[in-house]
Structure 1
């Protein structure tokens, strides 16, 4: 064939080769990133590349009590209470904890509690201890618990006044069940509930749903805290039925958490049992059923699993979907206070409880405490 006729054919053939190479690039060997412990039919959900929200959350905080005298206060006035955890607490958008007690300088315990307790546990922290929480970075606190009313109305009013003066957001009282605030352009709604006197009522399901739904109407992210379930080692597991402790109905925490998310909650954080409990993802939202004790100086048992102090770090997207997380393990003793736990005991305990209590929890907790959301 003359060269004059070959050139157009060669050009067309080369052009077809170029198109094929661009539309069908060489196959790359796909790396196997599936963790070894994942079931074969489980798919990890990769975090969405979007503006994310970081939250650090802990359970009960009680830095000693001045009642009936100062012998139950830490020797350093509580200033070093959180020193070992500052690296994990700070540099988050939200830093949350449950304040198990009051900020009050003087005052008597309420009579009805004195009558019903064989041994008194009345938590009255000096008002300047509020600065300890502020210095540690806490900007969100729940007051919904069984100790906020230890010193009646004076204790509740003093606690609220101190938190207001420090710019720390709080909620959970019957007179203030919720709060709204803005951090880095994101508007948050927060509410907290417990079955105890003078707190937003955990057992009033209509009130719970209405409060959360109202917050969701005006906020980007809604965080819900609850103080519920039995107390102590026998209550590590979630029975998914109403729990009773010393004759008091402490609620069905599983039903509560699901109802909260159905009503608009984006993150549910539990406390109250003084032990850690399982975690679950429900409708793309994370539930931590109990974060146990975190920093509780004396008066609260820290023996065995009660001394495990998990610090939960959570990443959400702007829609409130749980993307990833990590349980950072701490432990505490009455002698040395709060310490990092390189054995990851708290994380491993929560992992075992999660596997035991939920067949399909929607998440996997690794040996190092990393939490991965999964679909089945």
Structure 2
């Protein structure tokens, strides 16, 4: 009896670290929306020893109006993030990869008209930008294989919408980097992918030059990358070039290490639609893939593709990793992102980290707590 009680207490404590505990418990029992109280943004000027809090997720695609409105959720995506708003708004930086464009009307780029599956062309209504903003996201990557689905019109509209909302964005060739200051910390952000009209993941030296330039004028540099093969056969990090459907999707271990060598302080990966391992390199955290997070139709959420980790990172103003937490969520095409008390996302990332790295530099618990082991080389 006492043992069961203590196990219950431990589970509740972990859920509390990933949002409101009572909120998460109710989410498992019923799929009813729960109102979130607005969270005031901290405006205190940073001190040199200030702890920076980052919340990061993988791909978000809230529904596509192409080829017709059947790809739009009934609630216009308003309930997608109801269980994670507190996690996002309590962070200094809340990051995601925007898989697709924000555009109300327009035809796909010419070469993609030959796609057999039109639902794989992602055109989110422009009003969905407000849903992203209201959830608490303030940094978005637009560098991915769907950012050019609707050609220049899609890219221009996406930047216009996100700029109007004050969301920091990078990843297009026309918008390779972003610098901004929040709570006295100067941030540099850049995003890479191997796809058309994005900043190239494959040109490592050019990427390093861009990162060095950002580091020269920033306290903390955050790097995003979209790379690797896609699907259940591509969970593992390999130290070689990944080829997927004839495309070079990059050597991600080489790229991420080069990014940190050039001055990156946190490297956030996405693209495979599944989670991957994490590693501490030179006391900087690399998340090789945060998988899917909120993808309405058009993207499979079955099995491991439905795992939706939310990574919390604590770092100092030098960019050094202090600690982290993998908050386990799961996806439902109709109920949005929901808490997972079985901790499937954190357990999977722990398993992959142990399998792919002899010395990852970090320890990950089943419930998602991340601590550094030793200073990584």
Instruction: Give the TM-score band, short-chain normalised.
Output: 0.7 to 0.9
Name the counterpart of 2:259.
Answer: 260
State how far apart, in whole Å, the 1-side matches of 2:334 and 2:205 are: 44
Name the counterpart of 2:362.
Answer: 363
CA contact (8 A) 2:201 2:250 kept: yes
* 3-state SS of 2:127 partner: helix
* 3-state SS of 2:188 partner: strand
Q: Does 1:57 align with 2:45?
A: no
Deviation at 1:266, TM superposition (A): 0.2
Deviation at 1:159, TM superposition (A): 0.2
Q: Which deviations, in whole Å up to 9, do the C-alpha atoms of 1:228-278 show, x marking residues without a partner? A: 000000000011110011100000001000000000000000000000000
Q: Which 4+ runs in 1 deviate beyond 4 A?
A: none
* 3-state SS of 1:375 partner: coil
Q: Which deviations, in whole Å up to 9, do the C-alpha atoms of 1:311-345 show, x marking residues without a partner? A: 00000001100000000000012232211001110
Name the counterpart of 2:14.
Answer: none
Using the size of structure 1 for normalisation, the TM-score is 0.86
State how far apart, in whole Å, the 2-side matches of 1:362 and 1:114 are: 45
State how far apart, in whole Å, the 2-side matches of 1:261 and 1:254 are: 11
* 3-state SS of 1:83 partner: coil
* 3-state SS of 1:187 partner: strand
Q: Which deviations, in whole Å up to 9, do the C-alpha atoms of 1:68-118 show, x marking residues without a partner? A: 110010001111110011121111100000000000000001111122x22
Name the counterpart of 1:182.
Answer: 181
Q: Give 5+ residue unaligned stretches, structure 2.
A: 1-47
* 3-state SS of 1:98 partner: strand
* 3-state SS of 1:261 partner: helix
Q: Does 1:309 align with 2:308?
A: yes
State how far apart, in whole Å, the 2-side matches of 1:245 and 1:207 are: 23
**Number of residue equivalences:** 327
Using the size of structure 2 for normalisation, the TM-score is 0.86
CA contact (8 A) 2:271 2:289 kept: yes
State how far apart, in whole Å, the 1-side matches of 2:268 and 2:353 are: 15
Q: Does 1:249 align with 2:245?
A: no
Q: Give 5+ residue unaligned stretches, structure 1.
A: 1-48
State how far apart, in whole Å, the 1-side matches of 2:367 and 2:87 are: 15
Name the counterpart of 2:98.
Answer: 99
Q: Does 1:216 align with 2:200?
A: no
Deviation at 1:50, TM superposition (A): 3.1
State how far apart, in whole Å, the 1-side matches of 2:117 and 2:246 are: 17
Name the counterpart of 2:25.
Answer: none
State how far apart, in whole Å, the 2-side matches of 1:253 and 1:178 are: 20
* 3-state SS of 1:234 partner: coil
* 3-state SS of 2:83 partner: helix
Q: Which structure would you say has the larger Rg?
A: 1
- Match for residue 117 of structure 2 among 116, 119, 125: 119
State how far apart, in whole Å, the 1-side matches of 2:303 and 2:88 are: 24
- Map 1:30-49; keep pairs closer than 5 Å: none
- Map 1:167-206; keep pairs closer than 5 Å: 167-206=166-205
State how far apart, in whole Å, the 1-side matches of 2:74 and 2:112 are: 28
State how far apart, in whole Å, the 2-side matches of 1:292 and 1:285 are: 20
Deviation at 1:175, TM superposition (A): 1.0
* 3-state SS of 1:132 partner: helix
RMSD: 1.0
* 3-state SS of 1:206 partner: helix
Name the counterpart of 2:8.
Answer: none
